Chains A and B, each alone.
Chain A
């Protein structure tokens, strides 16, 4: 009888778990350098329409700015973990939407593009959330241009278990002249990120597709 009670207690303890492993954490990296700085209102719109409504209580959303030196805490534009109560979660979403509106109207334009720095910062935050599904959504032209003296070496397991989605990748002037270079650039990113433990690297063209991919997990 005692043994059965112990087994039952062990089973109950094993079956009970924190909800974090079932929640998802999304980090949106928004490029504010060069020509991509003008894309901010569109990016904010995608986040408002495509990301925010699909978040459920317990999920985390972090917005990080990509500028000349992105591995700074100041680059975190907004961060929130939704409350377990739906009514509070809705209020938080509205608050974040307001913060995003402010971000889209800020006069920001960086001279260089430190994508990997932002990725490393995002990886730190994602690890901290301990979420079951971790996704990094990059809104950039994916053309890195580090300032002199800045070094970015990612650890081999920097992006372990993280899914990286490149959304709204803007084609540069020379990309139109030579699409192969654009494809090669994205392919290189894919190889580099998967080498650092990323679960997947995918380029997303349509905002609706982004929502679908996030729901797939």
Chain B
């Protein structure tokens, strides 16, 4: 600053001179400076406006893609659900209809039997005709002391009583027979009831399936129609799935880390740890590869079980080949689990050996915690952990697939959100730039306010001289 002084021994005079010079210069350059500031403000505002437009456009594109992806995902999902229901119905119908002729025949047999029994029940032995009326007429006859008549009548009465008794016995026998036939019909009725229940169950199952299909078809129609509410629900559902998958993946990552640490040390006994790959000992890389192989085997097993669908080519394989791949994947997993289990035992031995070595080097003769060290619980625990962890890691395929399938929606949503934020920031910045340069113009004018005021006074004076009654507002805008 001092270098700019005209008179270094007199800073005040120098500063004043500089101020006066700056006033003169800035007053003279006022119009071009104002224009320059306005143009720069406009240019920066324009740049930010273009940026905002670009962000808005990108957000719209990302949102559209996201919408398309969600709709496509929902459509595929609903189609798969409908397909699965149809498949289920087809299976159920094939099963039930295959059984239907047999069921029908059984039902026919039972009904025929019931009908026969019923017919048999209907045939009753006819009662002795006229006997009852004859006995009643004899009983109503007045008493007659004639011995022959009396005897005849008594014989008739006896014969009538005997006939009645016989008829009664016959009636009882017939009734007992009917009751026996009726009681024999009970199992047939039960059979009919059972068959009817089975039919009802099959029919209600089919009805439920059709109801479900109806529901799916409704949602499918909504998805096809790209209904806003349905699309929002699908998007939210995808987000939920992504978050859950992410959590499960984080847990699985923890499991993989434990698994890796369990086998990293003993792997140095199997694989020479002298060489390195990207700075990591080969044994560590080998342990990492084993963990990744477990995940890969799990992916194939899940694929063959039809739980996931990473590889469309594998889905086209015939059932027998799929079974072979499944056996290979599960067999590989079993092998790796056994290897890990043995490595876990080896690890414990190495740790024990290292502890003993350290104690020996330090001159300690006996371990202070002999009992704990000699316990087999850690060895068994590590072996079990080594065996179980690969199977748990194999399950990662399911959340992995979900995460990948829903990840696109999350990424596009995030891009849309970011672009909206960028649009807002650019718009604000553009407005801010215009206002800032406007303010700078005012600050400029404030700095040269004295020459401006002088100009105004001079202008007023000259105008007053030229037009005595006119109002002076300043020569410059």
Residues of A within 8 A of B (CB): 15-20, 22, 45, 48-49, 52-53, 57-58, 84-87, 90, 93-94, 97
Check B354 for interface membership: any CB of A closer than 8 A. Answer: yes
Whole-angstrom distance between the Cβ of B272 and the nearest chain A Cβ = 5
B349's nearest neighbour on chain A, judged by CB, is A87
Say whether B357 contacts A58, CB under 8 Å: no
The residues of B that contact A49 with a CB separation of less than 8 Å are 361-362
22 contacts between A and B (CB under 8 A): A15-B278, A16-B275, A16-B276, A16-B277, A17-B275, A18-B275, A19-B274, A20-B274, A22-B281, A45-B363, A48-B362, A48-B363, A49-B361, A49-B362, A53-B357, A53-B358, A58-B274, A85-B272, A86-B354, A90-B357, A93-B357, A97-B361
A59–B476 Cα gap in the complex (Å)?
Answer: 85
- CB B347 to nearest CB in A, in angstroms, measures 10
Task: Give the residues from 266 to 294 in chain B that come closer than 8 angstroms, CB to CB, to chain A.
Answer: 268-269, 272-279, 281
Give the complex CA separation of A16 and B273 in angstroms: 12
- B207-225 contacts to A, CB under 8 A, are none
- Nearest-neighbour CB distance to chain A for B367, whole angstroms, equals 16
Q: How far is the CB of A40 from chain B (nearest CB, A)?
A: 16
Task: List residues of chain B with CB within 8 A of the CB of A48.
Answer: 361-363
Distance of A49 Cα from B281 Cα, bound (Å): 26
Q: Is residue B71 contacting chain A, with contact meaning CB distance below 8 A? A: no
Q: Are A58 and B354 in contact (CB under 8 A)?
A: no
B159: shortest Cβ distance to chain A, in Å? 120
Hey, which chain A residues are within 8 Å of B269, CB to CB? 85-87
Interface residues of B in 334-364 (CB under 8 A from A): 350, 353-354, 357-358, 360-363
Contact of A86 among B265, B279, B360, B362 (CB under 8 A): B265
In the complex, chain B residues whose CB is within 8 Å of the CB of A20: 274
5 smallest CB-CB distances across A and B, nearest first, come from: A19-B274, A84-B274, A15-B278, A84-B272, A48-B361
Tell which of B265, B268, B278 touches A84, judged by Cβ atoms closer than 8 Å. Answer: B268
Residue of A nearest to B350 (CB): A86
Q: What distance in Å separates the Cβ of A27 from its nearest Cβ neighbour in chain B? A: 19
CB–CB B361/A93 < 8 A: yes
**Nearest CB of chain B from residue A100's CB, rounded to whole Å:** 10
Pairwise interchain contact A15-B277, C-beta atoms closer than 8 A: yes
Bound-complex Cα distance A22 to B275 (A): 9
The residue in chain B whose Cβ has the minimal distance to the Cβ of A15 is B278
Residues of A within 8 A of B363 (CB): 45, 48
> How near does chain B come to A1, taking the closest CB pair, in angstroms?
21
Closest to B271 in A: A84
Among candidates B265, B273, B353, B362, residue contacting A58 with C-beta atoms closer than 8 Å: B273
Residues 247-274 of B, flagged 1 when their CB comes within 8 A of A and 0 if not, give: 0000000000000000001001100111
Q: Is the pair A19, B357 in contact by a Cβ cutoff of 8 Å? A: no
B287 to chain A, nearest CB (A): 14
Q: Is the CB of B272 within 8 A of A87?
A: no
Q: Can you add 19 more A-B contacts, CB < 8 Å, to A19-B276, A45-B363?
A: A15-B277, A17-B275, A17-B276, A18-B275, A19-B273, A19-B275, A19-B281, A22-B279, A22-B281, A48-B361, A48-B363, A52-B361, A58-B273, A84-B268, A86-B353, A90-B353, A90-B354, A94-B357, A97-B361
**Closest CB in chain B relative to A102 CB, distance in Å:** 15
Chain B's closest residue to A56 (CB) is B273
Q: Which residue of B lies closest to A12 (CB)?
A: B277
Nearest-CB distance from B12 to chain A (Å)?
57
Instruction: Name the residue among A17, A58, A86, A94 with the largest chain B CB count within 10 angstroms.
Output: A86
**B360 x A97 contact (CB < 8 A):** yes
- Give bound CA distance, A16 to B280, whole Å: 9
Partner of A53, one of B275, B281, B353, B361: B361
A84→B357 CA distance, assembly (Å): 17
**Chain A residue nearest to B283 in the complex (CB):** A84
Q: How far is the CB of B62 from chain A (nearest CB, A)?
A: 31
Residues on B with beta carbons closer than 8 Å to the beta carbon of A52: 361
On chain A, the residues within 8 Å of B272 by CB distance are 84-85
**CB proximity of A158 to chain B, nearest CB, Å:** 28
In the assembly, what is the distance between CA of A97 and CA of B356, in Å?
A: 14
Q: Which residues of A contact B277 (CB under 8 A)?
A: 15-17
Complex CA gap A52/B361 in Å reads 8
A87, B353: Cβ atoms under 8 Å?
yes
User: In whole angstroms, how far apart are the Cα atoms of A39 and B275 in the complex?
Assistant: 39
Alpha-carbon gap, A57 to B265, bound state (A): 12
Q: Which residues of A contact B268 (CB under 8 A)?
A: 57, 84-86
CB distance from A16 to the nearest CB of B (A): 5
**Beta-carbon contacts under 8 Å, B186-244 to A:** none
Measured in the bound complex, the distance between the Cα atoms of B268 and A153 in whole Å is: 43
A118 CB, min distance to chain B CBs, angstroms: 24
User: What chain B residues lie within 8 Å of A97 (beta carbons)?
Assistant: 360-361
Nearest B residue to A100 by beta-carbon distance? B361
Most A CB atoms within 10 A — which of B265, B279, B353, B357? B357
Bound Cα distance A47, B362 (Å): 10
A202 vs B269: C-alpha distance in the bound complex, in angstroms?
Answer: 36
CB atoms of A87 and B350 under 8 A apart = yes
Q: Determine the residue in chain B with the shortest Cβ distance to A90.
A: B357
A15 to B358, CA, bound (A): 34
CB distance from A43 to the nearest CB of B (A): 14
Provide the bound-state CA to CA distance between A22 and B268, in Å.
Answer: 16
